[in-house]
């Protein structure tokens, strides 16, 4: 599937960074057993990845803005367009030698995410979409699942850790959803959670306290795969509030009702 020039730049960049991170990941697996531990090494890998992405994207589109997880913020000459980047989504997995993490690159135009790329180098899976042209995984067209019975569905979320304040809310969500469905997964990468909803691997996903770079690319991929994407609180703003709920069209109303406690 040939994409636009922008999409091709995004995919080429994600591949390049993915290859470098994969090398680093092999070293992290070795570092697991060392006394020094992989912490510093990973934060270096993270920063290096963002640097590479910034260099590649800014070389291709010098006038665009850029916002990255590692703190890079560039106001572009073109105020309507900016890259929203997570160089390594799933850092904790990466740090522990767990092979579930990804590079996420979104393109925003006038406040709308118009293109997204999520690349999982370990499995060599490239999820991508552009507004109006559908969602893809490598060469195959993506479609959300068609399951419509809650009891047959599996959902993904993130679980609060390390003293975060949203634990009570999440436990309430789980108390409502777990008895009604086939399972809830917590794989540790919001970008891949969204990509997996688009691919029909999960039937839905919800999470609070996310950053724009965790979600930007995934939102357009889910929508282009035929999924419903809404703010967790009706009338909210997904990227500004950092809260999202999405799912296939058939299950979305029931799923959203369970999560929202309506």
Helix 190-198 vs helix 212-224: crossing angle, to nearest 10? 0
Same structural domain for residues 68 and 188? no
Q: Quick one: 20 and 132 in the same domain? A: yes
pLDDT at 192 over 80: yes
| Co-location of 206 and 121 in the same domain | no
Provide the 10 A C-beta neighbour count for residue 141: 11
Q: Tell me the average pLDDT across 227-244.
A: 94
The domain boundary residue, chosen from 122, 141, 160: 141
Looking at the structure, do residues 131 and 156 belong to the same domain, yes or no? Answer: no
For residue 23, what are the domain limits?
Answer: 5-141
Banded model confidence at residue 2, pLDDT cuts 50, 70, 90: low
Task: Say what the pLDDT of residue 236 is.
Answer: 94
Q: Give backbone dihedrals phi and psi of 243, rounded to 5 degrees, phi first.
A: -135, 140
Same domain? For 127 and 71 the reply is yes
Which pLDDT score is estimated for 35? 56
Comparing 191 with 35, the larger pLDDT belongs to 191
Do 129 and 12 reside in the same domain of the chain?
Answer: yes
pLDDT at 72: 75
Question: CATH number, domain at 131?
Answer: 3.30.540.10
Domain of 220: which CATH number? 3.40.190.80
Q: What is the pLDDT of residue 43?
A: 80
Tell whether the model's pLDDT for residue 199 goes beyond 90: yes
Chain segment 249-260, per-residue pLDDT in tens: 999 999 999 999
**155/255 same-domain check:** yes
Distance of CA 116 to the CA centre of its chain: 9
CB 199 within 8 A of CB 137: yes
Query: Global pTM?
Result: 0.94
Look at residue 262 in the predicted model and tell me its pLDDT: 58
pLDDT confidence of residue 6: 96
**Tens-place pLDDT, residues 90-122:** 998 998 889 999 999 999 999 999 999 999 999
Residues 218 and 256 occupy one common structural domain: yes
Predicted pLDDT of residue 9? 97
Residue where a domain stops, chosen among 101, 122, 141: 141
pLDDT at 40: 74
Give residue 96's pLDDT: 86
Give pLDDT, residue 103.
98
State which of 141, 163, 193 marks the end of a domain. Answer: 141
Which residue from 48, 40, 42, 38 is spatially nearest to 17, judged by alpha carbons? Answer: 48
Work out how many domains the chain is built from and give that number. 2
- 163 and 47 in a single domain? The answer is no
Q: What is the mean pLDDT of residues 168-183?
A: 95
Average pLDDT over residues 143-168: 93
Place 34 in a pLDDT band, splitting at 50, 70 and 90: low
- Are 248 and 155 members of one domain? yes
**What mean pLDDT is predicted for residues 153-177?**
91
Asked if 164 and 115 sit in the same domain, the reply is: no
**Closest Cα to residue 229, out of 90, 120, 113, 147?**
113
Report CA-CA distances (Å) from 260 to 190, 202, 206. 19, 19, 10
pLDDT at 165: 82
What average pLDDT score do residues 63-75 get? 90
Return the pLDDT at 32: 61
Shared-domain flag, residues 10 and 137: yes
């Amino acid at each position: 599937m040939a994409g636009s020039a922008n999409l091709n730049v995004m995919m080429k960049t994600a591949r390049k960074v993915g290859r470098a991170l994969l090398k680093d990941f092999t070293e992290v697996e070795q570092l697991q057993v060392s006394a020094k531990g992989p912490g510093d090494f990973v934060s270096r890998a993270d920063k290096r990845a963002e640097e590479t992405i910034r260099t590649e994207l800014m070389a291709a589109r010098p006038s665009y803005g850029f916002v990255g997880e590692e703190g890079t913020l560039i106001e572009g000459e073109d105020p309507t367009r900016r890259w929203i980047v997570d160089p390594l989504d799933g850092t904790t997995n990466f740090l522990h030698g767990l092979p579930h993490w990804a590079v996420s690159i979104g393109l925003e135009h006038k406040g709308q995410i118009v293109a997204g790329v999520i690349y999982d180098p370990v499995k060599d899976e490239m999820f991508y979409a552009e507004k109006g042209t559908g969602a893809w995984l490598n060469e195959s067209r993506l479609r959300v699942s068609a399951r419509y019975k809650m009891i047959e569905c599996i959902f993904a979320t993130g679980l609060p850790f390390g003293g975060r304040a949203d634990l009570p809310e999440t436990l309430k969500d789980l108390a409502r959803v777990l008895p009604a469905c086939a399972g809830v997964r917590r794989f540790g990468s919001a970008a891949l959670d969204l990509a997996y909803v688009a691919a029909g691997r999960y039937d839905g996903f919800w999470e609070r306290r996310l950053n724009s770079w965790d979600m930007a690319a995934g939102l357009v991929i889910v929508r282009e795969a035929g999924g419903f994407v809404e703010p967790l609180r009706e009338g909210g703003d997904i990227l500004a509030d950092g809260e999202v709920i999405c799912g296939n069209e058939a299950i979305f109303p029931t799923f959203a009702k369970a999560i929202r406690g309506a």
